[in-house]
Amino acid sequence: MSNIIAIVGRPNVGKSTLFNRLTESRKAIVDDYSGVTRDRHYGVAEWTNRQFTVIDTGGYVANSEDVFETAIREQVLIAIEEATVLLFMVDVTTGITDLDDEIAQILRRSKKPVFVVVNKVDNNDLHNDATEFYRFGLGEIYNISSMTGSGTGDLLDEVIKHFEDIPEEESNLPKLTIVGRPNVGKSSLINALMGKDRNIVTPIAGTTRDSIHIHYNQYGHEFMFIDTAGLRKKTKVKENIEFYSVMRTIKALEEADVVLLMIDAVEGLESQDVNIFHLAEKNKKGIVILVNKWDLIEKNNKTIQEFEDQIRNKIAPFTDVPIIFISVLNKQRIFKAVEEALAVYKNRSKKIPTSKLNDVLLPIIENNPPPSIKGKYIKIKYITQINASSPMFAFFCNLPQYIKDPYKRFIENKLREHFDFQGVPIQIYFRQK
Ligand code: GDP
Ligand code: GDP
C-alpha cells in the first residue's frame, strides 16, 4: 500500500468534491460510522481492489489572500515530495488562470507522476474547451466531472498504474509507530525507550526511504519502530506544518502493524486525533491509545474512568482499544505501553481454528438468530477465519443480503467477548453458502 494520491490546485476547482466522491463510494460499502468527522481532508479509497490514501490539499491552506499563494506553492512542493501521484485539478469553466500557470510551473519539475485533471466537464460540449489545458505541457489531460463522477474511472485506471508496491521487508518483526500531534511527546518516548541505543538506525531503500526503522531489542522485546516524525526534509515547511505532518503520519501508519496514537492529557482527544484513529482503523491496523503527560493532571479516584469514557465516546463504535496513561517524563508505564502494543500485535495475527469458532459461535447464533425479513429465515451454517493480515471472518448463510448492521455488530461483539481482539479492527462478511 502506502500509495498516496494528492489533489492539488487552486481553490474552487472542485478538489474536495472529488475527494468526497473517491472516499465516500468506499464508505458506502464498508463504513458505518455514526459520527464521522466532517473536517477530514484525507481518507482511504479503493479502485479495482487497490486501496490507497487520498489527500485533499485544499483543506490545509489558510483562506486569507496574503498567505495564500506562498502556502499553495509550498504545499505543492511538499506533495511532490511525499505523494505517489499528484492530481493537478483545474476548472474548465474558468480556463487557465495565473495561479494555475504558477502551479503548473512547479509541477513541471516534479519527478512524481502528475495528472492534469480538468474538472466540471459536465457535458460533451465542454470537452472542446478542455483542450486548452494541454498548454501546460504536462502531458495527457483527463476530463472529469466530480459532481457526476464521469471520467473518474478512466482517470483512476491510469493513476493506479503508477502505484508502488512496498518491498517485502526481510524481517518479520512487529512494526510499531507512534503518531500524534506535534509536542505530545512522541520523540521523548522513543528516546526514553531506546536509551543510548538510539543510533541503531537503518534507513530503508525504495519507497520507504522517508522513514527510518529503529530496531528495538531490549528487556526481552524485539520489534521495529517506524519513525518519520523525527525527519525534516529539505522543503521549507512554514505555512503547512499540519499538512506535512499528516502526510508523514499517513506513511508511517501504512507501514506499521500497530499504531500507538499518543495524545496530550492536558489537551485531550481532538478531532485531528479522531481522524488519525479512523484512518488506522480503516487501514486495519492495531491501535493503542497513549495518554501522555499524565504527571500534569490532578487526579482523584474517578479521573481515569472519566478520561477513558470521554475517549471511547469520541472513537465509537470501535472502542475495544487499550488506553494507557503514561508519563514519559517520569518514565511511568512506558514499558507497559510497549507490552500492550505487542499484545495487540499478537491479537492481530491471531488465527482461530474453524472448529473452535463454530463451537463457540453457532450456539450463540442459534439462541439469537438474525431477525427474519419478509417471512424469510436467515440461517447461518458455519464460520471460518479467512487468511489475511488482520482478522477477517466469513459467515456462510442462505440469505447474506438480509443481514443488517446491528446484527453484524452483535456478532463482532461476541467475537471480541470470546476471543480477545483488543485493539484490532475486525472484518466480518456474510457469504452465500
Ligand atoms: P475546492 O476548493 O477545490 O475544494 O472546490 P470544491 O470541491 O469546494 O468545489 C467548488 C465548487 O465547484 C462547488 O460549488 C462545487 O459544487 C463545484 N463543483 C465541483 N465539482 C464540480 C463539477 O464537476 N461540475 C460542476 N458544475 N461543479 C462542480
Ligand atoms: P513530539 O513533537 O510529539 O515528538 O514531542 P516531544 O517528544 O518533542 O515533546 C514535546 C514536549 O513535551 C517536550 O518539551 C517534552 O519534554 C514534553 N514532554 C514529553 N513527555 C512528557 C511528559 O510525560 N510529561 C511532561 N510534563 N512533559 C512531557
> Annotation-wise, does 256 bind a ligand?
no
The three three-digit cell numbers of residue 209, written as one number: 526511504
**346-397: pLDDT as tens digits:** 999 999 999 999 999 999 999 999 998 888 899 999 999 999 889 999 999 9
pLDDT of the residue at 61: 65
Q: How far apart are CA 221 and CA 293, in angstroms?
A: 24
Return the pLDDT at 29.
34
Residue 296 CB less than 6 A away from ligand 2:
yes
Residue 156 marked in a binding site: no
Question: 14 in helix, strand or coil?
Answer: coil
Beta-bridge mates of residue 34: none
Indicate if ligand 1 lies below 6 Å from the C-beta of 14. yes
Beta strands in 198-355 (DSSP E): 201-203, 212-218, 221-227, 258-264, 286-292, 323-325
Closest Cα to atom 7 of ligand 1? 14
For ligand 2, mutation pick of 186, 188, 298 (most atoms within 8 Å of CB): 188
ipTM field: 0.74
Q: How far apart, in whole angstroms, are the C-alpha atoms of residue 407 and residue 365?
A: 10
Q: What is d(CA 134, CA 177) in angstroms, rounded to the nearest whole number?
A: 42
Can you list the alpha helix ranges (DSSP code H) found in 31-137? 65-82, 98-107, 125-130
Q: Is the CB of 249 under 6 A from ligand 2?
A: no
Cα(309) to ligand 2 centroid in Å equals 24
Closest ligand to C-alpha of residue 61 is: 1
Write out the three cell numbers for 281.
482503523
For a mutational test of ligand 2's pocket, the pick from 183, 245, 249, i.e. the residue with the most ligand atoms closer than 8 A to its C-beta, is: 183
187 C-beta closer than 6 A to ligand 2: yes
The whole-model pTM stands at 0.75
Smallest-distance ligand from the CA of 123: 1
Which residues 6+ apart lie within 8 Å of 102 measured at CB? Answer: 69, 73
- Ligand 1 centroid from CA 91, angstroms: 9
CA–centroid distance, 326 to ligand 2, in Å, is 12
Q: Residue with the nearest Cα to atom 10 of ligand 2?
A: 183
Query: What DSSP string describes 236-273?
Result: --STTHHHHHHHHHHHHHHH-SEEEEEEETTT---HHH
Cα–Cα distance measured from residue 44 to residue 53, given in angstroms and rounded to the nearest whole number: 5
Cα torsion through 372, 378, 383, 389, rounded to 10: -70
- The three-state secondary structure class of 356 is helix
Q: What's the whole-number average pLDDT of the chain?
A: 86
Q: Is 331 marked within a binding site?
A: no
Query: Do 227 and 200 contact (CB within 8 A), yes or no?
Result: no
pLDDT by 10s per residue, the chain, length 433: 468 999 999 989 999 899 989 987 544 333 434 333 345 677 888 888 888 889 888 766 665 555 567 778 888 888 888 889 999 999 999 999 999 999 999 999 998 999 999 999 999 889 999 999 999 999 999 999 999 999 999 999 999 999 877 655 556 899 999 998 888 998 889 888 877 555 444 444 333 345 677 888 887 888 988 876 545 544 455 667 777 777 778 888 888 999 999 999 999 999 889 988 998 998 999 999 999 999 999 999 999 999 999 999 999 999 999 999 999 999 999 999 999 999 999 999 999 999 999 999 999 999 999 998 888 899 999 999 999 889 999 999 999 888 999 999 999 999 999 999 999 999 999 998 7
423 among the known binding-site residues? Answer: no
Ligand 2 center to 182 CA (angstroms): 9
